[in-house]
Amino acid sequence: MTAATANGNHAIDDPVVVKVQSASPIEETTLFEELYQMECFRTGEFYLKSGQMTPIYIDLRRIMSSPRVLRMAAQAMCDKLVAKNIKFDYVVGVPYAALPLATLVSDILNTPMLMKRKEAKAYGTKQLIEGVYQPGKTVLLVEDVVTSGESIRETAEAIRKESLKVTDAIAVLDRQQGASANLAEDKLNFMSFLTMEGILDGLITKNEMTEERKHQIIEHLAKPF
């Protein structure tokens, strides 16, 4: 059965949601190795969306070209969500890079997915949030890489305006540039599977970085922007 909602969508009354943890949880070192092999970590001089120069760039868009690694990254987030007993009714990927990850999280956890557009369509239903949902339910936000958390904050704000709750967000990797504290101010609990410090440690084990260079990068990333 379905019931019409205030937003014109139809919400399923009795979905069966079964959240399953993988038999063998993904290890951080395992995912790091896969991302390393796909050349997702690049050192040099790069500029972020904020305009800040960064000496290391994390390019997780590359993993969409490997279904196996993409699913591994999604499974790693699912393992963390289940372990922390995070409750939610819908999954939303921060547009648009995180959509493949959010789709897999939705599939693995058998939890409905919604899609948030960057802007409402000027035609058709003109909706900002696509999918079937009930106001008052809770959304989990999924992201690939997080810097300050601004994209998550903006997405949460738009979803909350649609009478949905947003309390948690998860990413594959946290660049550790203030996202946790920034999002906490908006009553958002943020977590990630990998951290920038962990990536730098991994690059040291690959003899691609020294301890001294690691500390230089961490100091640079700690600067305000």
Q: Could you list the pLDDT tens digit for every one of the 225 residues in the chain?
A: 333 333 444 344 434 344 454 568 999 999 999 999 999 999 999 998 778 899 999 999 999 999 999 999 999 999 999 999 999 999 999 999 999 999 999 999 999 999 998 766 556 556 889 999 999 999 999 999 999 999 999 999 999 999 999 999 999 999 999 999 999 999 999 999 999 999 999 999 999 999 999 999 999 999 887
Phi first, then psi, for residue 124 (nearest 5°) are: 60, -130
DSSP state of 223: S
Tokens standing for residue 8: 């014109």
Domains of the chain, first to last: 28-222 (3.40.50.2020)
DSSP state of 94: P
Cα–Cα dist 142/95, whole Å: 9
Rounded to two decimals, the pTM is: 0.88
Positive/negative CA dihedral, 197, 200, 204, 205: positive
Helices then strands, counting H and E runs in the chain, come out as 7, 10
Give residue 212's identity as a one-letter amino acid code: E
Residue 201: CB atoms within 10 Å: 16
